[in-house]
Amino acid sequence: MTWLAKLAMIPLAPWLIRQGNRARRNTVRLPEAKGERHKDIENSELSLLVLGDSAAAGVGCATQSDAITGQLVHQLQSRGAVRWRLIAQSSLTCAGVHELLNQYPAETFDAVLVSVGVNDVTRRTPIAQWRWDLEALTQTLVERHQAKLILFTAVPPMHKFTALPQPLRWFVGQQASDLNRVLAQHCQDFSHCELLHFDVPFHPRYLASDGYHPSVEACTLWAAAAASAILKSPKLQQ
């Protein structure tokens, strides 16, 4: 966030706090998608972990087959059998996702798709803490789970979240941009990591009914981008 944006925020602070509290009270609470969260296949061509927050857990979709995990696995299966697992839970920050991951056995994965950041925006995670959390999560994925490729999904453009009023929408959009800059640098600094961007049209059908989470259509775009990155990655050819 620029110094001009920080300066403009000062008189808006009480208003932003009220809007944030009101948004939390009024936002529709959608459940996580129903369905299987893992499939073990012997002699699989690829092992995949989908890890993260409510978007990864499929909030906004009815079933896991419609959500990011199911759609991604479906696209990857064109190249062979996939062993996969979903580890995700609503409302978790990056630190919370790391704690959740550590509750599972040290299973190895070729590729990991990570969705974190939105809750770090809403919880106002400091930049230094966000950087440390990304490094700690990456270290665990590489050392404990032997991940060859870690795809960090870019923090979504929260200034487009229709569930949020202005100027709160602008404010969280600025914060999301700040976290994305750190995330991009993290992916440059750590050889196992790549930043995944995918374009979602500014249209209501790409948002779930809560105006906050990705819809089935958005997950289709997300899965296509992730599948392309995984299938083309030289890290998985080594």
pLDDT top residue among 163 and 10: 163
Q: Specify the amino acid at residue 91.
A: S
CA angle, 182 as apex, 181 and 185 as ends, to 5°?
90
For residues 80 and 42, the answer to whether their CB atoms sit within 8 Å is no
CA angle, 222 as apex, 174 and 25 as ends, to 5°?
50
- Using DSSP's 3-state secondary structure scheme, residue 224 falls into helix
**What pLDDT score does 85 carry?**
98
CA angle, 106 as apex, 42 and 73 as ends, to 5°?
45
For residues 141 and 194, the answer to whether their CB atoms sit within 8 Å is no
pLDDT top residue among 112 and 43: 112
| Domain 44-236, CATH homologous superfamily name and number | SGNH hydrolase (3.40.50.1110)
Convert the pLDDT of each residue in 132-149 to its tens digit: 999 999 999 999 999 999
160: tokens are: 């487009």
Q: How many CB atoms lie under 10 A from the CB of residue 101?
A: 20
| pTM (predicted TM-score) | 0.89
**What pLDDT score does 185 carry?**
98
Q: What is the mean pLDDT of residues 109-116?
A: 98
Listed by start position, the domains of the chain span 44-236
> Which residue in this structure is represented by tokens 């630190």?
95
- Using DSSP's 3-state secondary structure scheme, residue 167 falls into coil
Give the residue among 108, 164, 165 at the shortest CA–CA distance from 141: 108
Q: What percent of the chain has pLDDT over 90?
A: 70
pLDDT top residue among 23 and 59: 59
**What pLDDT score does 153 carry?**
98
